[in-house]
A and B are shown apart, each in its own frame.
Chain A
């Protein structure tokens, strides 16, 4: 069974204080690892897809990296508007479109 574990569950940062969120996964062959951002009362918003170990993707202050067992979402010099819950999900390379397992998420709060 595919599993996704995200840590920490919650993270409080001062504005400008860089940090990383962790996503550990077990999957029988990885097709893709996804990062989403979810604001309170909203649906998740797609950020990145990573396919293979060593791959990196960047968007503004966010950079996602991937190894064979985990992914990191690095947040550089965060701003209060980066406050949200960040979700990680994995899709195995066997099975179809629907075979995506989501983690519980890391709730990030950036304080001015």
Chain B
């Protein structure tokens, strides 16, 4: 049971480049989210999904796109990378709508935009 798998673990982009951060879970969780974690700030929600085909914006969605074509996969696309998007990105999934059992997080992608 792999849990939540994120790739790549590290990435350096030039300003203006685009890329996709991959996230896959094998727990049949309906609920998935993308967070970014920056020094001195709590985890901030970028986008989330409550099931295949359903996505919505979180707190900091600008510059990012998501889609959810299957229950397992929830990729995050950076459209045109900016230095302000330098961060650590975490994908999380949950079985419960209320989150009572907590989120299962991936190990993160550390992104640097130069």
Q: List the interface of chain A (C-beta within 8 A of B).
A: 4, 31-32, 34, 36, 41-47, 49, 51, 87, 89, 91, 96-98, 100-105
Contact = CB atoms under 8 A, between A and B. Distances in A.
Nearest to B45: A98
Given A4-B42, A97-B31, A97-B96, 12 more contacts: A43-B4, A43-B90, A43-B107, A46-B102, A91-B98, A96-B50, A96-B97, A97-B48, A97-B97, A97-B99, A98-B33, A98-B58
B94 A43 contact: no
Contacts, number: 67
| Tier of interface size on chain B | 20 to 34
Given A44-B90, A97-B48, A98-B33, A49 B107 contact: no
A32 B105 contact: no
A96 B98 CA distance: 7
Contacts of B94: 97
A97 B50 contact: yes
Nearest to B38: A104
A44 B35 CA distance: 11
Contacts of A32: 98-100
8 contacts: A34-B102, A41-B107, A43-B108, A44-B103, A97-B94, A100-B45, A102-B44, A104-B42
